[in-house]
Structure 1
Amino acid sequence: MASSKNTDRKEEQCLQETWLNLQHEELTELEQAAAQNRNGPKDEHKLRQLIQKIVNHFQDYTNNRTRLARKDVSPFFAPASGTTLENSVLWIAGCRPSSFIRLIYALSGMETESHISQFLEGIKSGDLRELTSKQFTMIDELQGKTIREERNLTTRLASLQEDMVDQPLASKMKKKGECENADEPLDKHSQHMAGVMEEADELRMKTLKEIVLTILEPVQGVEYLAAAKKIRFCVYQWGKKRDREHSD
């Protein structure tokens, strides 16, 4: 049993490391595609293929997360591969889907107080500044719908966390404070947590698809994805720096 659990943890770690390496590769592809289309004729078919490939990669990643979380969900809520900064801002084992939408507003210049321009060199002045009124209407509608679904999942997660104390833990404490075997109720609780994580991943996936495959034009989609990945790496680098400072 212990060997099986160790294998699951190693597979989870391998998944996270592979995913991080893939982000570097995808960012390079996106930046090259954005530069080519800024300096020459736009090849929308090629851009659509690149966007779809990245969406497919994200879908594969979430599918693998789901498979592993059904065996052991805990590592995904505080991944060992993540920095303490990254883990501190996680929402149900990942980013808030509504943050995907806030990024559009920041890149388009709608959020004038956003500091995003400090490290998104050149991207903020691209095609995302030319969103149409129809696109903004679609974005606003998506934001409202996404926030409502986020709140529902947040409420469900809170209930599960409360149940953790009320049921698996309290019911397995002996009168003298000794701990009984709680594997069965904890496994049941973990399955419920994995289910919420799976729904959160589905919402993240659905929101991203709506943004890059439906609302944004191909050139805008490439710029948006490049910006999102640059932010991801900035947060990772900031987190690594802070962890080093606090470990010295």
Structure 2
Amino acid sequence: LKALNQNENDGNLTDNTCAQLVERSLDSFLEYIEKRAQLDISGLFSPSWNTALENSLLWITGCRPSPYIRLTYALCGSQVEYQLSEIIQGLARGNLGQILATQLRMINNLHIKTIEEEEKLSSQLAGLQENIADQPIAMVAKRMSRVGESSGNVDHALDELESSMANILQEADKLRLSTLKELLAILTPLQGVDFLVASKKLHLCMHKWGKTRDNRQGRR
């Protein structure tokens, strides 16, 4: 991140270098998705390594993909304002401050499609959560003489529930990855690096801010 910032500030990022950085970031994200697919599914919905703030913002164990696009819009607006004098003088840096109207239309279409896919997955997850109040789990719990005692029927039902949750997680991760790929394909390599640096900074800041709030509340 420091190296990216330094190169970006010095204007030393070529299109080829930026393209390599974007590709490396996508490869890292794919590797992360593949590795965590092997982890305990229930633990991923409220990971212990996250702060309370981060966990409160999770969507199917991660970030909603639609904020990728909201962040892009925010960066476009802030950089246009920041670089207004340069833009007027025709001094283009090629970053998100100089995004084209055609790119914005494509990003808007991606935004709409992504939100629709998010809603489908959210609905599927809601259905799984509602199943807890249905047969057989709720009725077995009602009939138990001792609260929480072992039950083969419940274990089987919970195994099926976790399997279904894992499937939804896989679909959510696919959506996160595909949205990121499509967004970066719309942006130029330099704009892509611009976005990736900002998103990484946001992620790190949210973690730091969350730790500060946890300490303040005596949670950690």
Q: Tell me whether the two structures share a fold, i.e. TM-score over 0.5.
A: yes
Q: 2:172 aligns with which of 180, 200, 206?
A: 200
Q: 2:114 aligns with which of 146, 152, 170?
A: 146
The answer as to 2:211 corresponding to 1:240 is yes
Counting matched residue pairs gives 203
C-alpha distance in 2 between matches for 1:180 and 1:165: 18
Look up the match of 1:131. Answer: 99
Letter of the structure 1 residue corresponding to residue 122 of structure 2: T
| Secondary structure at the counterpart of residue 50 of structure 1 | helix
Aligned-residue identity in percent: 42
C-alpha distance in 2 between matches for 1:134 and 1:220: 14
Q: 2:163 aligns with which of 175, 191, 205?
A: 191
When the two chains are superposed, the root-mean-square deviation of aligned CA atoms in Å is 2.1
Q: 1:169 aligns with which of 115, 122, 137?
A: 137
Look up the match of 1:49. Answer: 20
Does the CA-based 8 Å contact 1:33-1:222 persist in structure 2?
no
Letter of the structure 2 residue corresponding to residue 141 of structure 1: N
Distance 1:106 1:168, change over 3 A: farther
Shift of 1:177: 4.4
C-alpha distance in 2 between matches for 1:175 and 1:46: 64
Letter of the structure 1 residue corresponding to residue 193 of structure 2: V
Alignment of 1:26-175 (within 5 A): 27-36=1-10, 38=11, 40=12, 42-68=13-39, 72-109=40-77, 127-173=95-141, 175=143
Distance 1:30 1:167, change over 3 A: farther
Higher relative contact order (CA 8 A, sep 6+): 2
Does the CA-based 8 Å contact 1:84-1:239 persist in structure 2?
yes
| Secondary structure at the counterpart of residue 67 of structure 1 | coil
Letter of the structure 1 residue corresponding to residue 95 of structure 2: D
Shift of 1:127: 1.4
Letter of the structure 2 residue corresponding to residue 160 of structure 1: L
Look up the match of 2:85. Answer: none
C-alpha distance in 1 between matches for 2:115 and 2:102: 20
Shift of 1:171: 3.6
Distance 1:192 1:176, change over 3 A: closer
C-alpha distance in 2 between matches for 1:241 and 1:48: 35
Shift of 1:32: 3.2
Which segments of 5 or more consecutive residues in structure 1 lack a partner in the other structure?
1-26, 113-124
Shift of 1:205: 0.4
Which segments of 5 or more consecutive residues in structure 2 lack a partner in the other structure?
81-92
Does the CA-based 8 Å contact 1:97-1:146 persist in structure 2?
yes
C-alpha distance in 1 between matches for 2:22 and 2:107: 19
C-alpha distance in 2 between matches for 1:167 and 1:208: 39
| Secondary structure at the counterpart of residue 143 of structure 2 | coil
The answer as to 2:186 corresponding to 1:218 is no
Distance 1:92 1:28, change over 3 A: same
Letter of the structure 1 residue corresponding to residue 70 of structure 2: R
Does the CA-based 8 Å contact 1:58-1:205 persist in structure 2?
yes
TM norm structure 2: 0.86
C-alpha distance in 2 between matches for 1:234 and 1:219: 23
C-alpha distance in 2 between matches for 1:169 and 1:175: 10
Shift of 1:129: 1.2
- Runs of 4+ in structure 1 off by over 4 angstroms are none
| Secondary structure at the counterpart of residue 38 of structure 2 | helix
C-alpha distance in 1 between matches for 2:156 and 2:6: 51
Look up the match of 2:83. Answer: none
